[in-house]
């Protein structure tokens, strides 16, 4: 197979984003239908324990050390310059590092399995099952990190079509197994074992696809080179710090709730938190494609293209995310009540609304993150991310004592809003040499104006047209979505003209 070009065509880029969205959409929709079954089959206590197990093991992702982004960036650059031996050296070193990481993960999992029941209020009758579930979940994470090397190479080659196809298959196979196990009355040990089987299969598939597409990586098990280890670490060390901060922000909340409140309370918080993660991952599926593109632009000295990528990418991210965020903010309680049950509507809906205050700004900056990583300018990001994580954890611990679940949510949102407003606009504007005012107005402001009519319509529906079922809720949302789409088309008609048929170009002001 021949190597892929360093910069994808407009059609290839659009295909990558579309397939990434399809895979991510499936990754959101499938858990959406699976979550009620899991909660009701396991019960609040056991489901809360399962969330704590997954969240605790998820911290081992920190041992990724930021390697995935480093592999994508350096392989993309080496491929752009035709340095195929360099690509092989990078991948070979990364594989050995990941093998060592997997060994460390299993050792740490053994320690966590021993102390976990003593940290959280785990009933004595399920302690052995919890310990085994931790070990199985950790093993599945080791395979997932192993699959990260070939998946990072595919990302560097802009083959998100293949990457998304494998991830799409994984989503459905995993969910299908969960449904069968839950319907037959199995518990968290069986779920963890199925996670391990699916992760192992995915890892083997990724490696096979990568070796078929990119022959440079077929013989990668030569000894790692010290020089290459230093090169990867010089980039990934700061990405590693960002990963640490992200794990604290995304997973520590459940730990705070479980420690200071109860495992059952984790269920109420996790319902809102999962909705936040699902919507963020949808935009992340698009912004991830920006890293190798930005790396290629930087290698070619095309700063003007980097600016264009930032502005257009941010606008596109907000066009996709704002309708979702508005619906969840205005009607989140109703949605959760119809989805999970009315007992969760009030508490989880309130937590969701608080978390959304930060979510909107976080999504607006995801494109900036992809561009900054591609430019290898993410060192200051690491420092700010750690500050956010520290503030998040501190505020959550202080406020949970006074406000319960809402206090944990406020701690997360306050820290995130401060970081997203103070750091990102100023840093990316300085990096690409344009004013903060221009960036906020064009990238953020114009899209926000498009959302105002949709927000009013959403408020009207919630107040005067309450939904009584999920299908009705989705139909109501679909009925007002054209309001946002029309506003966005009118606002960005000049940018959209080149993509329109010739007959429409004249109507929208084209030449």
pLDDT tens for each residue of 231-241:
776 666 676 77
Whether 10 shows a pLDDT value over 90: the answer reads: no
Residue bearing the bigger pLDDT, 371 or 84: 371
Residue pLDDT, tens place only, 72-117:
777 777 776 666 677 777 777 777 888 888 888 899 888 988 888 8
Mean pLDDT of 406-418: 90
For residue 5, the SS3 value is coil
Place of tokens 């449904």: 179
Whether 502 shows a pLDDT value over 60: the answer reads: no
Residue pLDDT, tens place only, 447-491:
888 889 999 999 999 988 889 998 899 999 999 999 988 888 887
Whether 56 shows a pLDDT value over 60: the answer reads: yes
What are the two backbone dihedrals, phi and then psi, of residue 434, each rounded to the nearest 5 degrees? -150, 170
> Distance between CA atoms of 3 and 85, rounded to whole angstroms?
13
Whether 194 shows a pLDDT value over 90: the answer reads: yes
Q: Do 43 and 300 contact (CB within 8 A), yes or no?
A: no
Mean pLDDT of 322-336: 91
Most confident stretch, 174-178, 258-262, 378-382, 422-426:
174-178
Residue bearing the bigger pLDDT, 396 or 282: 396
Binning pLDDT at 50, 70 and 90, where does residue 61 land?
Answer: confident
Q: Do 149 and 98 contact (CB within 8 A), yes or no?
A: yes
For residue 193, give the nearest of 155, 149, 143 by alpha carbon. Answer: 143
The reported pLDDT for the residue numbered 39 is: 84
**DSSP 8-state code for residue 443:** I
The reported pLDDT for the residue numbered 123 is: 79
Q: Do 213 and 165 contact (CB within 8 A), yes or no?
A: no
Residue 388 CB burial class (10 angstroms; 0-12, 13-18, ≥19): buried
> Distance between CA atoms of 57 and 217, rounded to whole angstroms?
30
Mean pLDDT of 343-368: 87
> Distance between CA atoms of 234 and 73, rounded to whole angstroms?
12
CB atoms within 10 A of CB 471: 10
The reported pLDDT for the residue numbered 476 is: 92
The reported pLDDT for the residue numbered 496 is: 54
Lowest-confidence pick of 29-43, 178-192, 212-226, 312-326: 212-226
The three-point CA angle 391-395-398 to 5° equals 145
Lowest-confidence pick of 16-30, 107-121, 190-204, 474-488: 16-30
Lowest-confidence pick of 160-174, 270-284, 352-366: 270-284
Whether 511 shows a pLDDT value over 50: the answer reads: no
Whether 8 shows a pLDDT value over 60: the answer reads: no
The reported pLDDT for the residue numbered 135 is: 92
> Distance between CA atoms of 300 and 485, rounded to whole angstroms?
35
pTM of the model: 0.65
Lowest-confidence pick of 205-209, 380-384, 413-417: 380-384
Mean pLDDT of 244-259: 78
For residue 94, what are the CA distances in angstroms to 70, 209, 236, 426, 502?
10, 18, 11, 34, 49
What are the two backbone dihedrals, phi and then psi, of residue 185, each rounded to the nearest 5 degrees? 85, 10
Q: Express as a percent the part of the chain with pLDDT over 90.
A: 16
Q: Do 378 and 238 contact (CB within 8 A), yes or no?
A: yes
Whether 330 shows a pLDDT value over 90: the answer reads: yes
Mean pLDDT of 129-144: 90
The reported pLDDT for the residue numbered 28 is: 66
Whether 177 shows a pLDDT value over 70: the answer reads: yes
> Residue 210: in which H helix or E strand, if any?
helix 188-213
């Amino acid at each position: 197979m021949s190597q892929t070009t360093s910069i994808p065509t407009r059609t290839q880029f659009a295909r990558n984003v579309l397939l990434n969205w399809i895979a991510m959409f499936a990754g959101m929709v499938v858990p959406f239908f699976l979550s009620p079954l899991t909660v009701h089959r396991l019960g609040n206590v056991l489901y809360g324990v399962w969330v704590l197990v997954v969240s605790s093991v998820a911290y081992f992702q920190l041992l990724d050390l930021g390697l995935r982004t480093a592999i994508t960036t350096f392989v993309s650059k080496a491929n752009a310059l035709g340095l195929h031996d360099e690509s092989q050296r990078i991948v070979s070193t990364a594989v050995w590092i990941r093998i060592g990481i997997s060994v460390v993960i299993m050792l740490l999992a053994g320690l966590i399995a021993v102390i976990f029941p003593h940290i959280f209020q785990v009933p004595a009758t399920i302690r052995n099952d919890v310990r085994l579930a931790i070990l199985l979940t950790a093993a599945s994470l080791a395979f997932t990190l192993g699959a990260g090397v070939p998946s990072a190479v595919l990302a560097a080659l802009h083959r998100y079509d293949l990457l998304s196809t494998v991830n799409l298959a994984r989503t459905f196979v995993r969910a299908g197994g969960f449904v069968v196990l839950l319907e037959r009355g199995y518990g968290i040990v069986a779920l963890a074992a199925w996670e391990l089987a699916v992760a192992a299969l995915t890892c083997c598939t990724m490696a096979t696809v990568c070796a078929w597409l990119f022959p440079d990586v077929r013989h990668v098990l030569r000894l790692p080179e010290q020089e290459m280890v230093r090169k990867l670490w010089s980039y990934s060390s700061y990405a590693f710090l960002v990963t640490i901060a992200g794990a604290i922000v995304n997973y520590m909340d459940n730990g705070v709730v479980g420690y200071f409140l109860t495992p059952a309370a984790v269920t109420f918080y996790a319902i809102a938190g999962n909705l936040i993660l699902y919507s963020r991952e949808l935009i992340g599926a698009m912004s991830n494609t920006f890293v190798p593109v930005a790396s290629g632009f930087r290698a070619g000295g095309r700063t003007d293209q980097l600016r264009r990528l930032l502005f257009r990418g941010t606008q596109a991210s907000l066009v996709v995310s704002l309708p979702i965020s508005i619906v969840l903010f205005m009607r989140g309680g109703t949605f959760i009540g119809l989805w999970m049950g009315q007992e969760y509507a009030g508490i989880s809906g309130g937590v969701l609304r608080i978390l959304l205050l930060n979510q909107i700004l976080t999504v607006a900056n995801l494109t900036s993150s992809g561009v900054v990583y591609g430019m290898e300018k993410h060192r200051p990001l690491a420092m700010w991310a750690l500050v956010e994580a520290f503030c998040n954890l501190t505020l959550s611990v202080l406020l949970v004592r006074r406000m319960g679940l809402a206090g944990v949510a406020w701690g997360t949102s306050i820290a995130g809003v401060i970081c997203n407003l103070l750091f990102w606009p100023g840093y990316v504007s300085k990096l690409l040499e344009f004013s903060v005012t221009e960036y906020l107005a064009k990238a953020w402001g114009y899209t926000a104006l498009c959302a105002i009519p949709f927000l009013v319509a959403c408020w009207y529906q919630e107040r005067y047209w309450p939904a009584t079922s999920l299908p009705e809720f989705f139909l109501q949302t679909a009925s007002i979505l054209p309001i946002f789409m029309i506003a966005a088309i009118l606002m960005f008609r000049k940018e959209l003209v080149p993509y329109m048929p010739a007959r429409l170009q004249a109507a929208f002001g084209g030449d």
